[in-house]
Amino acid sequence: MSDPSRPVGPKIIAIANQKGGVGKTTTTINLGAALTEQGMKVLIVDLDPQGNASTGLGIEPDDRQFTTYELLLEDIDLADVIQKTEIERLSLIPATVDLSSADIELYSNEKRSFLLHDALRQTAIDRYGYDYILIDCPPSLNLLTVNAMVAAHSVLVPLQSEFFALEGLSQLMLTVREVRQSANPGLRIEGVVLTMYDARNNLSQQVEADARANLGDLVFECVIPRNVRVSEAPSYAMPVLSYDSASKGAAAYRALAAELLRKNTSLAA
Ligand code: ADP
Ligand code: MG
């Protein structure tokens, strides 16, 4: 069910933060699943050589014959890299450790920053009718992340509710600015979402207060609580929305999807 008021083609969002372990992959998988519950058709692009999004969605390494590596560096049909997942309306382009060498191989390519952009804008993508493409970035501001930012309409930043969370954000914002100046002037910040939030912990509250004071409306109203069901779900190769649909984590990701959809419809109106 696409939104008729939106411009044609999927909305592409890069999920990025150069820190590891802040909830990028968790947010990509669960926001993706929550969007499908709202009737959206979603493609997740695993752009991290660790391949956690692929594993978390049940695509085992042996089943990753064609991956984002081939998508970026070889001439390959989208049909050969896109895989269906167990979740209705949710597809994936998987990654393997091969992608770790791509960062270096990309440098010798003249179009190095535009490879993902061009791959996702093949006319063939139209026939899939995706509403959203979510790109799970690696924990670095390398050429892979730059490819994601050049390909995307916006960047969504998961921010872990812990000490030093806001540090590093300025570096990320600087990269966004550079990408705007050099390759993608329309790149927006979709928002910053607080992850692993513990309401009983003063530190979480402090990080939230700092983030809202510094970033204002860019911070999503809803926060993602620390929830053990969220951390268990990947070992069962499913989003928390399927693993424990009634959990607080699932509810939080549903709220995030609803907020994102609200923002995007009001923008399009
Ligand atoms: P990143 O992709 O930024 O490296 P991950 O999404 O892999 O981060 O999350 C890092 C770890 O934290 C994972 O083990 C994940 O299961 C766990 N985690 C993420 N979000 C939550 C949450 N809301 N509650 C509990 N554990 C979480
Ligand atoms: Mg990750």
The tokens describing 29, both together, are 């998988």
Give the pLDDT band of residue 123 (cuts 50, 70, 90): confident
More confident residue, 77 or 134: 134
pLDDT in tens, 208-251: 999 999 999 999 999 999 999 999 999 999 999 999 999 999 99
Ligand 2 centroid vs 27 CA: distance in angstroms?
9
22 lines ligand 1 (CB under 6 A): yes
Whether the per-residue pLDDT at 29 is higher than 70: the answer is yes
Whether the per-residue pLDDT at 112 is higher than 90: the answer is yes
ipTM entry: 0.99
pLDDT (average), residues 59-85: 94
Question: Of 43, 108, 29, which is closest to residue 78 (Cα–Cα)?
Answer: 43
Give the pLDDT band of residue 7 (cuts 50, 70, 90): low
Ligand nearest to the CA of 54: 2
Question: Of 33, 131, 136, which is closest to residue 94 (Cα–Cα)?
Answer: 136
Side chain identity, residue 192: V
Predicted confidence at residue 48, as pLDDT, reads: 98
pLDDT (average), residues 36-50: 98
More confident residue, 9 or 50: 50
Provide the mean pLDDT of the chain: 93
154 lines ligand 1 (CB under 6 A): no
Q: Given the CA of residue 233, which atom of ligand 1 is nearest to it?
A: 16
51 lines ligand 1 (CB under 6 A): no
Whether the per-residue pLDDT at 50 is higher than 50: the answer is yes
> Any idea which fold 11-268 has?
Rossmann fold (3.40.50)
Whether the per-residue pLDDT at 6 is higher than 80: the answer is no
204 lines ligand 1 (CB under 6 A): no
Predicted confidence at residue 2, as pLDDT, reads: 45
More confident residue, 89 or 170: 89
83-84/90-93 β-pairing: antiparallel
pTM, whole model, 2 decimals?
0.95
Judge whether 57 and 108 are in contact, CB under 8 Å. no
83-84/132-136 β-pairing: unpaired
More confident residue, 76 or 23: 23
Predicted confidence at residue 268, as pLDDT, reads: 66
pLDDT in tens, 145-195: 999 999 999 999 999 988 788 888 999 999 999 999 999 999 999 999 999
Which residue's CA lies nearest to atom 27 of ligand 1? 231
Ligand nearest to the CA of 23: 1
52 lines ligand 1 (CB under 6 A): yes
Ligand nearest to the CA of 19: 1
68 lines ligand 1 (CB under 6 A): no
Residue in 50, 231, 238, 244 to alter for ligand 1 test, most ligand atoms within 8 A of Cβ: 231
